[in-house]
Amino acid sequence: MPPKGGGEILFACPVRKVLQPIHFTDPGKIKRIRGTAYSVRVSPQMANRMVESARSILNKLLPDIYIYTDHMKGVSSGKSPGFGMCLTAETINGTILSAELASNPQGQGAAVLPEELGQNCAKLLLEEVYRGGCVDSTNQSLALLLMTLGQRDVSKVLLGPLSPYTIEFLRHLRSFFQIMFKIETKTPEEEHMGGEKVLMTCVGTGFSNLSKTMR
């Protein structure tokens, strides 16, 4: 946890020569919610309190909810205390929408109660569900980048309302790759749910991985 950190992330990624075009326009209905409530260098009850407060809101949406608790102490817990929660909603078509919140770093900002954080994280997830689309607002730019780097074929993805970060990212894609997206708005009446949707369409640049194995 911030500010002192002390953790480690192991990132693994398969090697791909090319990226295939995608057509991801039907997010489907929510079928289950999963999540993790984590706490380090604080009472283990913090995670349980977050889970209870989040479930009090999410149980009104659907019954299939499971939120794991993850408590660490001692050397393996890093150098700063704190707690947080990550929630994901999965649809029948494989779409995953996520939301995450964490407590303020020690000595910075107002102290946050675990009940308050759990409820706010649940509300953030419901906001993502309302916005809809096949990608949540945090990962919109990543989806658009992968579409840009795909083969010279048409890719389509349905997104919720574009975030300010995504709008600026589209300008960067135009500057770096000279690529323009076709943007079609879909009203809630057309999609029968949530907020306004945006259908993003582009033709990939045909980027290929040229790296060779060193011998």
Q: What percent of the chain has pLDDT over 90?
A: 79
| CA–CA distance, 54 with 123 (Å, rounded to integer) | 8
| Cβ partners under 8 Å of residue 63, min gap 6 | none
- Looking at residue 13, its pLDDT comes to 86
154-159: strand order across its sheet: 23-24, 154-159, 197-203, 182-186
Position 190 confidence tier, pLDDT thresholds 50, 70, 90? low
Position 214 confidence tier, pLDDT thresholds 50, 70, 90? low
Tell me the three state secondary structure of residue 95: coil
- Tens digit of pLDDT for each residue in 123-178? 999 999 999 899 999 999 999 999 999 999 999 999 999 999 999 999 999 999 99
Could you tell me the end-to-end alpha-carbon distance of the chain, in angstroms, rounded to an integer?
Answer: 40
Question: Which of 71, 27, 52, 43 shows the shortest CA–CA distance to 121?
Answer: 52
pLDDT exceeds cutoff 90 at 213 = no
pTM, entire model: 0.91
| CA–CA distance, 102 with 17 (Å, rounded to integer) | 37
- Tens digit of pLDDT for each residue in 18-50? 999 999 999 999 999 999 999 999 999 999 999
Position 192 confidence tier, pLDDT thresholds 50, 70, 90? low
- Looking at residue 86, its pLDDT comes to 97
Single-letter residue type at 36: T
Q: What percent of the chain has pLDDT over 70?
A: 97
| CA–CA distance, 195 with 130 (Å, rounded to integer) | 6
The arithmetic mean of pLDDT across residues 202-215, rounded, is 84
Q: Report the mean per-residue pLDDT for the chain.
A: 92
pLDDT exceeds cutoff 80 at 198 = yes
In the numeric block, the tokens 């407590």 are attached to 103
pLDDT exceeds cutoff 70 at 76 = yes
- Looking at residue 186, its pLDDT comes to 85
State the DSSP string of 119-169: HHHHHHHHHHHHH-BSS-GGGHHHHHHHHHTS-SSEEEEEESSPPHHHHHH
Higher pLDDT pick, 84 / 75: 84
Backbone angles phi, psi at 167, to 5 degrees: -60, -45
